[in-house]
Structure 1
Amino acid sequence: MNSPVLQDADAWTEREQLDFFESAELTDILADVVRPMGLEHAKVSLAELHHRPGAGVSGVFEASNGSTTLYLGATAEKLEKVPEGAVRLDSGQGTVVVWLHPADPLLPGLPLATTPALVEEKWGGGRVLEELRTLAYRPLRRAVLLARFGDGNQLFLKVLRKDAQLLHDKHLALLQAGVPAPTPVGPPMDGVLAFHRARGVPLAEDLMHAPDLPLDPKQIIGLLDSLPQALMEFPARPAWSDRLGWYGHAAQTAVPDQAENIAALIQRLAHILENSRRGELVPSHGDFYEANIFVTDGTITGLLDIDSAGPGYLVDDLACFIGHLAVLPGLDVRYARVGDYLERYAKAFEAELGNRGVSASGLYARAACVVLSLVAGARDESNPDWRLAAMDRLRRVEELAGLAQSAMRTEPTG
């Protein structure tokens, strides 16, 4: 794609960025961008929208003329360098960089992972590639693809902007300690890591179908306690509660009419966090919830997405688990039992944390921070009722904040 470089406009707010990415003005501009590529009269629509608090808004757009379909990536984040072939646009408020997928400016391995012939050559081992499917893609951040071969074997390809070798080393550290992390096929190639599939099914599936609590809380705590000390040598990542202000800002941007209510919630949660005991720094998963835990017959057989693993706090991992459980009933009616499961898990975690001198108020406040971080993520361009989901998550934040305050009243001071 070729376009003259336009002058920078003044800085714009993330709310303005969201509005522009959802506007007909941008899709009309993108229709002009793809016209020289042979897509006359193309219809351009927003497929995905991603808001990273403090950085900016990015999106994926579909352009189709009925016979040919292309995908475009776009971002309002400031890039140090606009790559060759990308288009730099000025909205009049700020700058947007647009590229033809998969030429993501910060994911140089994405063309490798999305090209079937290359995947078959690099990871096929002589097998025929039958399917290559994108499972997740966050522009400028990461992508995950599923590669299925003719013999039924499946590999997951994770494309990273940086630290691919670091993630590879984390997997080896967990596997050496007996933690069932997915096994890497080999070292990273151009920022792409290939993994064998974990055994079992996601705990999310068992939470939907099991007739009773599908995983004993003791197993969850035991798994986290088994994380190796080697993780303490890796860089620490902030927990959700450490970025309360950022996620609060994202929620206010997504549902601006709730800004005052969200600001009050942030103040309440910040006060509780300041006065709750967090416990000792220990090896931590960093993104511990039901989709990243695989189980077989009530036993944990897989622990996924260890990108954030490193020094952290047990209470934050358990709060992440509780926070994600809290939003499940709003995602699917088949999670109807999860409300009861959440209460049982929370009581078990409370008791265990209490034995370790960690405040129950902190558990609930940190879980509320996790749910607050998910409010902006309720925005789904394919779902006209996404605002209802966002409001449901805000109600969950308030409920967890209320539990935190109740627990705080019974805890010793000083």
Structure 2
Amino acid sequence: MTEIKNRWSEREQLDFFGSAEFAGMLVELVRPLGLDDARVTVVELHHRPGAGVSGVFEASTDDAVLYLGATAENLEPVPDGVVTLSSPKGRIEVWLHPADPRLPGLALATTPESVQLHWGNGRNLVDLRTLAYRPLRRAVLRATFDDDREVFLKVLRKDGDTLFRKHELLGEAGISVPKPLGPPLKDVLAFEKVQGVSMAEDLMHGDAIPLRPEAVLELLDALPSGLMDVPARPAWSDRLGWYGHAALTTLPEEAQRIGGLVQRLGRILESSDRGYLVPSHGDFYEANIFVEHGRVTGLLDIDSAGPGYLVDDLACFLGHLLVLPSLDDRYDRVPEYFETYAAAFARELESRGVGADGLFARAACVVLSLVAGARDEQDPQWRRGALERLELVERLLLRAP
């Protein structure tokens, strides 16, 4: 079985998951569930380089709707409740949502009665909405109760206790993080809503830079030393090969161009100094920072927080910032802000013995990691967005000769 799966390239997986042939297989799979001749559509696909492709599919008739998860990743031994389908080149494991085989708490977090019982505190649930779901990886939901109180539920594969402790560490250090409503339940953590708005929203609608560069640096410097005791996770630049592969899978016609970029980035990363190992956020960008009146009111998604390098956090911030104008015309002031942040971050890093070439090369790695994310099965023009991100990688490289 494993030998067959190894013949199944990730490019072939993406193509097959979006094919009429696979949709037909899912039509037959749901027929015994009472959905005769269902319409099957791709909701979204996720490509995890080196592991495989996963997706969410909708199967519907005039009277009913079901959602299915599917993956070409190796789940051996195949968990209970998962159905194996075979294609000429490999196997696909399929499950009925929310019975995700790697997220044991997903059913708990997506069942209104359970959410009201465990996190309602006597209130009635009026809305339960999925904000993000990556099959086999994680999910985030928002529960709204009848007093307008909102609770956010994060569903993890594992290590819920570690994430709970990270929130305690940062809270004790005076950093505004979402407050957990209690220890994890089946690796589901519930959080209160933070004040303010996401920096992404402020960048779109505000008339001034949301946070001074000095405030960004002060926030990262304030991360507690206790984070040095948790397991380290690789930064985007540490996974350059993986993300180059993902970009190549997304844009196979740009193979020579992508290969050249990966080689150039690799040479700069090998020769540039990262500085000292310090407490790090690990996923530091505008969507995970909440602000109000020029100050930080919330630091979200600290799952990757731990030992790391300041240059990688700042590169993550710059890489995501650079992509925003290509997503929405209302980010028209972001290029000006990018230059302000880039200059300030480069000066600060150089004062700490870290060169600007490493900063911009690592920011380019972040943008390269976002190329595959431009793929959108609902948007026939998604390839244009992927190419724009590749151009941004090249622009950043010009700053890191």
Q: Does the pair score TM above 0.5? A: yes
1:254 and 2:250 matched: yes
The DSSP-based 3-state class of the residue aligned with 1:46 is strand
Contact map agreement 1:286 1:306 (CA 8 A) in 2: yes
1:280 and 2:276 matched: yes
- What amino acid is aligned across from residue 58 of structure 2 in structure 1? E
- What amino acid is aligned across from residue 120 of structure 1 in structure 2? Q
Contact map agreement 1:329 1:338 (CA 8 A) in 2: yes
Contact map agreement 1:6 1:88 (CA 8 A) in 2: no
1:294 and 2:315 matched: no
Q: State the identity as a percent.
A: 64
Q: Give how far 1:212 is off.
A: 2.2
1:79 and 2:75 matched: yes
The DSSP-based 3-state class of the residue aligned with 2:319 is helix
Q: Give how far 1:85 is off.
A: 2.2
Give me the whole-angstrom Cα distance separating, in 1, the residues matched to 2:144 and 2:12: 41
1:159 and 2:155 matched: yes
Contact map agreement 1:6 1:90 (CA 8 A) in 2: no
Listed one character per residue, the Cα deviations across residues 327-365 of structure 1 (whole Å, up to 9, x for unaligned) are: 101100001111111011000001111111111000000
Q: Give how far 1:243 is off.
A: 0.3
Change (3 A) 1:372 1:9: closer
1:198 matched residue in structure 2: 194
Contact map agreement 1:180 1:303 (CA 8 A) in 2: yes
Count how many residue pairs are aligned between Structure 1 and Structure 2.
401
Q: Give how far 1:152 is off.
A: 1.0
Give me the whole-angstrom Cα distance separating, in 1, the residues matched to 2:54 and 2:194: 31
Give me the whole-angstrom Cα distance separating, in 2, the residues matched to 1:88 and 1:362: 45
1:320 and 2:316 matched: yes
Give me the whole-angstrom Cα distance separating, in 1, the residues matched to 2:237 and 2:247: 14
1:404 and 2:387 matched: no
Give unmatched runs, 5+ long, in structure 1: 406-414
- What amino acid is aligned across from residue 384 of structure 2 in structure 1? L
Q: What TM-score results when the alignment is normalised by the length of structure 1? A: 0.95
Give me the whole-angstrom Cα distance separating, in 1, the residues matched to 2:244 and 2:329: 27
1:188 matched residue in structure 2: 184
Give me the whole-angstrom Cα distance separating, in 1, the residues matched to 2:9 and 2:17: 12
1:96 and 2:82 matched: no
330, 338, 341: which one pairs with 1:342?
338
257, 264, 267: which one pairs with 1:268?
264
Change (3 A) 1:6 1:42: farther
2:306 matched residue in structure 1: 310
1:116 matched residue in structure 2: 112
Give me the whole-angstrom Cα distance separating, in 1, the residues matched to 2:105 and 2:216: 34
- What amino acid is aligned across from residue 346 of structure 1 in structure 2? A
The DSSP-based 3-state class of the residue aligned with 1:394 is helix
1:146 matched residue in structure 2: 142
219, 232, 236: which one pairs with 2:232?
236
- What amino acid is aligned across from residue 291 of structure 1 in structure 2? A
Give me the whole-angstrom Cα distance separating, in 1, the residues matched to 2:165 and 2:2: 43
Q: What TM-score results when the alignment is normalised by the length of structure 2? A: 0.99
- What amino acid is aligned across from residue 39 of structure 1 in structure 2? L
2:208 matched residue in structure 1: 212
Contact map agreement 1:283 1:309 (CA 8 A) in 2: yes
- What amino acid is aligned across from residue 158 of structure 1 in structure 2? K
Give me the whole-angstrom Cα distance separating, in 2, the residues matched to 1:345 and 1:217: 6
- What amino acid is aligned across from residue 103 of structure 2 in structure 1? L
1:178 matched residue in structure 2: 174
1:389 matched residue in structure 2: 385
Give me the whole-angstrom Cα distance separating, in 2, the residues matched to 1:367 and 1:41: 47
Q: Give how far 1:284 is off.
A: 0.1
Give me the whole-angstrom Cα distance separating, in 2, the residues matched to 1:68 and 1:214: 45
1:30 matched residue in structure 2: 26
- What amino acid is aligned across from residue 90 of structure 1 in structure 2? S
- Which of 37-46 and 204-213 deviates more? 204-213
Give me the whole-angstrom Cα distance separating, in 2, the residues matched to 1:133 and 1:225: 35
Give unmatched runs, 5+ long, in structure 2: none
The DSSP-based 3-state class of the residue aligned with 1:186 is coil
- Which of 83-92 and 303-312 deviates more? 83-92
Contact map agreement 1:6 1:89 (CA 8 A) in 2: no
Contact map agreement 1:8 1:90 (CA 8 A) in 2: no
The DSSP-based 3-state class of the residue aligned with 1:104 is coil
1:408 matched residue in structure 2: none
- What amino acid is aligned across from residue 363 of structure 1 in structure 2? L
2:133 matched residue in structure 1: 137
Change (3 A) 1:348 1:22: same
- What amino acid is aligned across from residue 336 of structure 1 in structure 2? D
Give me the whole-angstrom Cα distance separating, in 2, the residues matched to 1:292 and 1:299: 14
1:128 and 2:130 matched: no
Give me the whole-angstrom Cα distance separating, in 2, the residues matched to 1:335 and 1:351: 25
| Runs ≥4 residues deviating over 4 A | 5-10
The DSSP-based 3-state class of the residue aligned with 1:133 is strand
Give me the whole-angstrom Cα distance separating, in 2, the residues matched to 1:190 and 1:275: 44
- What amino acid is aligned across from residue 126 of structure 2 in structure 1? E
Change (3 A) 1:273 1:117: same
Listed one character per residue, the Cα deviations across residues 146-182 of structure 1 (whole Å, up to 9, x for unaligned) are: 0011111111000000111100000000000001111
1:21 matched residue in structure 2: 17
Give me the whole-angstrom Cα distance separating, in 2, the residues matched to 1:385 and 1:8: 33
Q: Give how far 1:80 is off.
A: 2.6
